[in-house]
Structure 1
Amino acid sequence: MNSSRLLLLACLLVLSGCPEQAGPGKPSGRVEGQVQGPTALRGDAYVFLFAPGEEPPNGPAAPRHVTAVPELRWASGDSRYLFAEVLPGPYRLWGFLDANGDVDLSVDVLAQPGAGDWRPEAAVALDVPVSGRVEQELALTRRMRHGPPAFRVTGEGTDGGVVSVPDSPLALTSLTVEADGLGLLRGEEIRFFVHLLDSDGDGNADDLNGDGLPELFPQFFLRFVPRPGQTGAEDGGGSSIIVPLVLNPLPFVAVLQGDVTREAAAASVQLFVVPQAQAVSVGTDGGQVLTPLAAIPVGEYQLWALTAEGAFWYVPNVLGHRDSESLRSQSLRFQIVRGGSPDAENPAR
């Protein structure tokens, strides 16, 4: 995975959407083939067609088409998939095998591969001709080590359902997040797996943003959710806007010792808000561009967690809308308010 694009992916990735369907009077082709993976495993395999540049892990990921190979067929040796009516043009083919049975494509944070699941090394480029047929194998060769970094926020300021964070650069705001799979994730003990990033495999920790500090994963940030009429960015709203959070490294220094091969498991981590908003966009070379903003947009935010494998979690999410006491933590909202304003309810500490 191209780690320089992880943050952009997390800002934009949603495994849902409205596929552009072919229909009567429209020319269409078909895409079919075999899903190849470890034969000893069982599970449902999901297959997606994305527009170019929108496939994981390179950017926005709203699939144009979705299909599946059910576990019953996979177990019988029949792993063939089919997209019967596809508008002509270029696409990217991607998918994964849900080995643990915890994927739910109707739930935003559960619509992704988790611990023990299998996915391809990269998406496969293909071109669907008019009234033609494309035969393409999808090889699932990479096993996910860890699942989504599911969490809930604890501590002072969370009881009211809204955490308010002042935008003042003089305010030191911290959040405590606890790993919590909510009984929905399988395959491993739910923990944060803290480690240094070495994306190029040279044995040295990476410094992706050039701040002189090695990148520590998982990464956390607040993502601006604009209301109608809001943009918050100088480019008129063409970028996603984030406010970074720094993970307190002190509890992990003795375990990691600067070694990129080491990993520390943690039940909870402490985060500090960096009072500097950034616009995240795609550069001409396809890489990530971070542009500092003059001010932090006031309004609603989501709290995101992202692993080096590209697994993610954010709050609030759709699980918080379910009528379950155990999922109430997933409806917690985040607001950035003007520092010191009287309407700053439930400020975090």
Structure 2
Amino acid sequence: MSSIVFRALASTLVLAGCAVPPSSEPRREARVEGQVTLAGPAVGNAYLFLFAPDEAPPEHRGEPLYVAAVPEVRLTAGDSRFGFSGVGPDVYRLWGFLDANGDADLTVDVLAQPGAGDWVPESSVELNVQPAQTLPVELALPRRVRRPPPAFQVVEQGEAGVVTLTDSATALTSFTVRSDGFGLLRGDAPRFFVRLADADGDGTADDVNGDGVVDLWPQFFLRFVPRPGQTGPLDSQGRPAQVLVPLLPNATAFLGTLQGDPSQELALESLQLFVIPRAQAVIEEPGKGRVVSTLGAIPVGEYELWAVNEEGGFWFVPNDLGRRTVEPVRSQAQRFRVVHADADAGTGSP
């Protein structure tokens, strides 16, 4: 998962027919145009995005370089054409979704994603855009999303809206998260849809790290957000690694109910999360894929609390809902901070 969640501002929409300013220089800008192929009813607006090759969903979460849209009024009329004008020559990946439920909001980071009932592609499409080219492309949206994003709030508010943890390698710390759609998400009632992970589809629950504890969906972790002057591990190309602190749901109450069967699913309103006292650096290396290494200590500083479900839906706190000036959602401004264990900041428990 990349360090930036894609946030596509509505004011940056590039619609078909936008003019390219005249220039005395040889034309290098290209145009990408095509149509969306729908597997379901033409209900809702379709949004299209061009990403850098290593930032495109569903594998990654990056910030799009270009945005286009096909409004519902055109889709219902049988016109699914879209276009990106003024595209610089480069390699991109095309991805998008049909907002069938109308609950996507491209001005809010955690709402700028597909939710329950929306239609998405199986994968992004690689495009090699040449100078001055008009490149035709088609994006099929055959898969319907089952669940809404795993929206939540933290039950323990912490002092002054900050949950403080320590970098202690032995302290046992936990807090509780409660599912809540804040009246913004449509589809299933807000819940954590808990199931055993089975990435290879062999019917047996996964234990990726071999610690004897089966892996669960949704997954939770703290993500380090370095401030100016703070440094961390780098990949082979000098880019910052993702630094994550895993969180383990307390499965005592429901693991027996799942009976080791990945096809079973529980809808839970809240979960207790234990902080695993170690940090991991996650990098994407060419030819190797994702490489995970354990750090010697948890970096002190600011963190985001993330939840990711098996369909790639995500939620994190703090987010734009807590930062907006009009009707902010207070719980979504919750911050997370790691301090040294010997600092004068209490025990480290929220």
Q: Contact 1:93 / 1:123 at 8 angstroms: preserved in 2? A: yes
Matching of residue 143 in structure 1 with residue 147 in structure 2: no
Q: Contact 2:195 / 2:265 at 8 angstroms: preserved in 1? A: yes
Match runs of 1:1-349 below 5 Å: 8-9=1-2, 11-16=3-8, 24=23, 25=25, 26-155=27-156, 158=158, 160-233=160-233, 238-285=240-287, 287-323=289-325, 327-344=329-346, 347-348=348-349
Amino acid across the alignment from 1:33? G
Indicate the percent of aligned positions where both proteins have the same amino acid: 53
Runs of 4+ displaced beyond 3 Å: 15-20, 22-26, 232-237, 323-326
* Equivalent residue pairs, number: 339
Answer with 203-212 or 172-181: which moved more. 203-212
Q: Contact 2:322 / 2:328 at 8 angstroms: preserved in 1? A: no
Cα distance in 2 for residues equivalent to 1:237 and 1:339:
29
Cα distance in 1 for residues equivalent to 2:99 and 2:7:
14
TM-aligned CA deviation for residue 255 of structure 1 = 2.3
Amino acid across the alignment from 2:97? F
Q: Secondary structure at the match of 1:251?
A: coil
Question: In the TM superposition, what whole-angstrom CA distance separates every residue of 1:238-289 from its partner, at most 9, and x where no partner exists?
Answer: 2011111101111221321110101010000000001101111112335211
Q: Contact 1:166 / 1:344 at 8 angstroms: preserved in 2? A: no
Question: In the TM superposition, what whole-angstrom CA distance separates every residue of 1:118-168 from its partner, at most 9, and x where no partner exists?
Answer: 10000111222222211111000111111111000013x535201101211
Answer with 93-102 or 57-66: which moved more. 57-66
Distance change (3 Å), C-alpha of 1:16 and 1:279? farther
Q: Contact 1:47 / 1:67 at 8 angstroms: preserved in 2? A: yes
Question: In the TM superposition, what whole-angstrom CA distance separates every residue of 1:20-39 from its partner, at most 9, and x where no partner exists?
Answer: 9x864351111111101134
Amino acid across the alignment from 1:265? A
Cα distance in 2 for residues equivalent to 1:326 and 1:107:
12
Distance change (3 Å), C-alpha of 1:341 and 1:241? same
TM-aligned CA deviation for residue 237 of structure 1 = 6.5
Cα distance in 1 for residues equivalent to 2:51 and 2:98:
17
Q: Contact 1:233 / 1:293 at 8 angstroms: preserved in 2? A: no
Distance change (3 Å), C-alpha of 1:326 and 1:128? closer
Q: Secondary structure at the match of 1:136?
A: strand
Q: Contact 1:30 / 1:132 at 8 angstroms: preserved in 2? A: yes
Cα distance in 1 for residues equivalent to 2:118 and 2:34:
20
Superposition CA RMSD, Å: 2.3
Answer with 94-103 or 36-45: which moved more. 36-45
Paired position in structure 1 for 2:17: none
Q: Secondary structure at the match of 1:94?
A: strand
Q: Contact 2:42 / 2:72 at 8 angstroms: preserved in 1? A: no
Question: In the TM superposition, what whole-angstrom CA distance separates every residue of 1:81-133 from its partner, at most 9, and x where no partner exists?
Answer: 01122112222111000011111111110111011111000011122222221
Cα distance in 1 for residues equivalent to 2:221 and 2:141:
30
Amino acid across the alignment from 1:13? V
Q: Contact 1:255 / 1:263 at 8 angstroms: preserved in 2? A: no
